[in-house]
Structure 1
């Protein structure tokens, strides 16, 4: 198996990050080079998908015969749920999304989550973190690995090099940068592994020195 580095591309192979209790498989799908993440509990083999972004065929191949119990959508933007209806139809999975974004997702949300709620992946727990600004109900998902560094799935709220796009809206940017600073950087250690909605992975420690620059530039 290829050593995990988080660098995947549309049409290329998926990569799997093997943790002691959790398997994280990352795959890129079109048309906007979106990342989707399949999480599998190694204790129970139960699986959850984060962002059925596009290309249901690719996602279903990654999911495999084991199926999935839930699909979590990180936010309402359409490029993150284009394959959701087909994936749900083929797997019978429950849909999960942030309460304030559910109305903007065409596929009905079965479970609306708020800040501090949890989502189970077999015997493991993901903590929901509400990050308002990129969209009203964007969520990140935290797996606090008891055997190593935390693992954080940030959707489009945090990337290598900056926070998510707020399209020049100063109020939304202020909300997002504040939430990212207080909910993520102030709470979690530098070694926290960050899995964004597009592109390469990063860590909070890599990004932390740039926070003042991001705030100053306003995006």
Structure 2
């Protein structure tokens, strides 16, 4: 089976309409281009994200089903609440974003990760520009879990999470939902569903509905300042 896949280099950096994304593989839209901040931000603003391995060109995706959660909808389990109360973990925002990005890459196997060196450098640059943010979970002075993603208006587009100890990624996600809801966030995008996201209460909506919500909420910028996070209102 053959198919035509547009090249961004031939389109002068303009992404094709997401309605042209392939059904198989689900959401593959284009290839090529670059990971410069303006390109990546333009992609996310149109419901598109990069996802590829070292041996591939840059591949751009917009799947027909999007994994999302409203930050106010996250409900931590009783066991997670109990674990958090008994732990001595500290959770912060934007205090070690480059480390979180690198740990998200290094804690996965070579066959599993899409966070190439090129991707790491691109998102660290986006962090320096104030677009990429991280949640860090600390045990003393050691990072044991966390996540990172891009803020597009009132939508947080999650990229990856990791955990080096029990529940650390869940705790990071809990704090993200709590804080993002408190500052006016409307939606957290988790891109593509997996069992871990399903266990956190993430659901799926159509690409059309996701992009509609993205467009509706992209204009009200939220500032996510470096700080220690608390679950208290």
TM-score range, shorter chain: 0.3 to 0.5
More helix by share: 2
More strand by share: 1
Question: Taking structure 1 as the reference length, what is the TM-score of the superposition?
Answer: 0.37
Question: Taking structure 2 as the reference length, what is the TM-score of the superposition?
Answer: 0.36
- Asked which structure has the greater CA Rg, the reply is 2
Larger relative contact order (C-alpha < 8 A, sep ≥ 6)?
2
